[in-house]
Amino acid sequence: MRVLILTDARFAAHERALIERLMVGLAVEGVDARLVLPRDRRLEDYGFELISDPVFYSDRGLALTRRIRAMQIARQLAADFGKIKGAIDVIHVLGGGAWSMGRELARILDAGLVFEIWRAGLIDAAKGLHLSEEERALLLAPEKHFERWLVEAGLGPRTRLAPWGAQVPSEPVPIFRPDKNASIVMMSSGRQKELCAAAFEGLADAVSVREDVLIFANLELVERAGLWPMVKEHDLASRFTTIDKSEDRRDLLLRCDLMIYPDTLHEERTLLLDAMGGGMAIIAGADDAIAPIREEMGVEVVDRPTRSEWAMRIRHLLDNPQEARDAGLAAREYVKGHRRAGNHIEAVTDAYNAVVELKTGPTPASERHR
């Protein structure tokens, strides 16, 4: 089976880890997967670790030029496979900004389509696709709430559940060691500015009497939520570090003791799953649509996202490191049991086979995943 993984710029920048795991996992399953990325979006600097070089496409231009831009991708593939129509079996589109290009490319290549519904905001957009019977297309939902909302939108027959997973290290990350400073990382898209500000103000209050706490935050959060003035106001500049291209520094961030995750945007993020899998302590904003954000999963949930509530929760874990460790281990056990990366790959390949069967008929069980 030959598959294209087609992304938009936003998804590629935020989920490099998922893309790389998907590419490797598909290769293990015997699927020939090629990655297609937007050109001139600084993605060349992100250092994707891939088996083969990505194909780059132009994602900017008038709608009337879309077919021309799609043909440019098709010709690059034809150079490898010797043909255009039938060169690819399935196009897996990651990111709503690439949906139109994916559909155009599917028509040219006579390929099936899989749309990743990685955030709830794409559900109305999926309904607006008005997929025809001739389009061999499925929708992948990483969360049961997303799956239910797609069914309620009348898209049930095209919907498959494929929860994202994490790679679980052989040993948990040792957190809150007595021989080192504590480290807290705050990760967010920054789009919910007021929620992010409340979380940071609470963090600043919690560490105001502690000189042994280092703070990290991703650049997108700092810029969008306007955190830098707050950093200076609370005299935290000497122990505050902004992380640019956080995907490149994920290994570093996942070695912190505590993650603050204020987003309540109904979005799936592998960063959260990786932190849980590593055994980090996590305090997150309440988001009922995201299954891992539950107290019983080991995540401390802030139901009332006020400055004082964040301060109380953060201060409590700083003062009770063993409780933080126990929570981190509970989160790790949840990921080990329910959210492994291998399970995600299996669900995705099952969806690909289902799309192919829409054209060819059922695949014999002995030949699946070949």
Domains assigned to the chain: 2-165+340-367 (3.40.50.2000), 182-338 (3.40.50.2000)
Q: What is the pLDDT of residues 130-172, one digit of tens each?
A: 998 888 999 999 999 999 999 999 999 999 999 999 989 999 9
**What DSSP line would sit under 205-231, residue for residue?**
HHTTT-SSEEEEEEHHHHHHHT-HHHH
Between CA 284 and CA 261 the distance in angstroms is 4
Low pLDDT (below 50) residues in the chain = 370
CA-wise closest residue to 134 among 105, 101, 106, 169: 106
Q: pLDDT tens across 280-294, in order? A: 999 999 999 999 999
What does the pLDDT read at residue 364? Answer: 57
pLDDT of residue 203: 98
Write down the pLDDT at residue 39.
85
What φ, ψ does residue 312 adopt, rounded to 5°?
A: -65, -45
